Each structure stands twice: as C-alpha cells, then as structure tokens.
Amino acid sequence: MQANLFDGDQPSSQAIKHPIGNAELLEYPQIFCRAKADQMLKTLIADIPWQQEHLKIAGKLRAIPRLQCWMGDSMSEYGYSGVRLSPQPWNETVKTIHERVADLSGSTFNSVLINFYRNGQDSVAWHADDEAELGAAPVIASVSLGAERIFELKQKHQVPAKKYKLSLRHASLLIMAGTMQQHWLHQLPKEKALAEARINLTFRNIVSD
Ligand SMILES: O=C(O)CCC(=O)C(=O)O
Ligand SMILES: [Mn+2]
C-alpha cells in the first residue's frame, strides 16, 4: 500500500530553527517513521547495559533519577560532577541512529550519552554540557525516543534570565550548537503523572588533547 503523505508519519529532513538569540537550536520533528522508532526504543531498552550512577550531594551518595550508558570510541572517556565514564562499544541500533544524525547535521560524533527515563519520575536537573573535553562551542545532537517530554532552557548570566520551552517528541532530533552551552542551561523536569518510558541519546564529540 502506498504511504499517505498526510498521515503524520513522514520522516523529514526539514528543520525548525528556534529563535533563541545568541545560540543555535535546531529541531527536526521526525527523523524516523513511527514503526522504526518504536522498534529502536524496544531494542535499546532491552539491549543497552544500563547503569545506575550516583552523585555525592551534601556528603551522601544519591542515585541519579535515570539510568545511563556512555558509549563510543575507546578513547572517549568522559566525566561530569565527579563521575568518570568509560565508553561501552557501539551498539548496532545506536550506529544506525548515528548515521541518520550525521547525515542531517553534517557532523560526526565519537561518543553518545544515553539516558533512560523509566517514567515521569525520572529527570535531569539544570546543567550545561560545557565540560572542557567537549570543546568551546560543541555541537550536541539529541535524539528522543518514546514518551514526549518537556525540555526547558534558561539563560545562565542574564538577570532576569529568559526561559524557553519545547516538547521533545518520539523520533525527533534537537541540535544544540554555537554558544548554546556557554549562555544557556537546560533541564528535563519531572512529570509525575507520566507512566511511559523515554530514551534520549546525546551524540557528542570528545576532543582529545
Ligand atoms: O533527555 C534529554 O533530552 C536531555 C539529556 C541531557 O541534557 C544530557 O544528557 O546532558
Ligand atoms: Mn545536557
């Protein structure tokens, strides 16, 4: 049967440029058809070696509210807030996603941080992806699979700080680039009533010294 162009399930290479001034924020609303994205979500939940990381907060070790996996080329060791992560080898589904992302963004990436939000109780707090090993103006390509979640941004240095909000949909790609990490923080807040899972893959390039 021929696909219906208007059935709302057409992967597209068209990007929406979000107007947030001094940084680059590009959204590709759907980069895979729904069936393929559904399959990828299932496969990744089952196959990725998920880890529960902990952070020391006020002297106590606390589990972070999501599961994670750091994946990439063997040299791409990565760290944040005192956590050191050695990369897992590339998984076939992640390689397929990387190829599509590289095609659309014109950039290749040597690593990816994969987050598994089991439901709306899982989240990531305000931060910028501004670790030294990502370089001064990193291109970060963020693919979402599963439950649609709100993604919030706020300016780091401005008073009052401007805020910006968007919805990250199943099979979408968001590219943060330019001075985004220098000037803005981002977070994925909890959505307590949400029961569905989401996976996010942020492709990154670790710069070696
Ligand atoms: O899940 C998301 O959309 C964002 C994840 C994120 O910001 C990160 O892993 O650094
Ligand atoms: Mn981030």
Kindly list the structural domains of the chain, giving each domain's residue range(s) and its CATH number in brackets, ordered by start: 17-200 (2.60.120.590)
Contact 145, 171 (CB under 8 A): yes
Give the tens place of pLDDT for each residue, 161-209.
999 999 999 999 999 999 999 999 999 999 999 999 999 999 999 987 6
Question: Dihedral, CA atoms, 30, 107, 180, 51, nearest 10 degrees?
Answer: 70
Closest-CA residue, ligand 1 atom 10, reads 129
Closest-CA residue, ligand 1 atom 8, reads 202
Residue 73: Cβ within 10 Å count: 13
Give the tens place of pLDDT for each residue, 88-131.
999 999 999 999 999 999 999 999 999 999 999 999 999 999 98
Q: Which residues have their alpha-adjacent CB atom under 5 A from ion ligand 2?
A: 129
Q: Residue 75: its pLDDT value, please?
A: 73
Which among 55, 124, 126, 184 is the best mutation to test ligand 1's pocket, defined by most ligand atoms within 8 Å of the CB?
A: 124
Q: How far is the CA of 2 from the centre of ligand 2 (A)?
A: 39
Residue 41 phi/psi, 5° resolution? -60, -50
Considering the entire predicted model, what is its pTM? Answer: 0.93
Please work out whether the CB of residue 186 comes within 6 Å of at least one atom of ligand 1.
Answer: yes
Please work out whether the CB of residue 168 comes within 6 Å of at least one atom of ligand 1.
Answer: yes
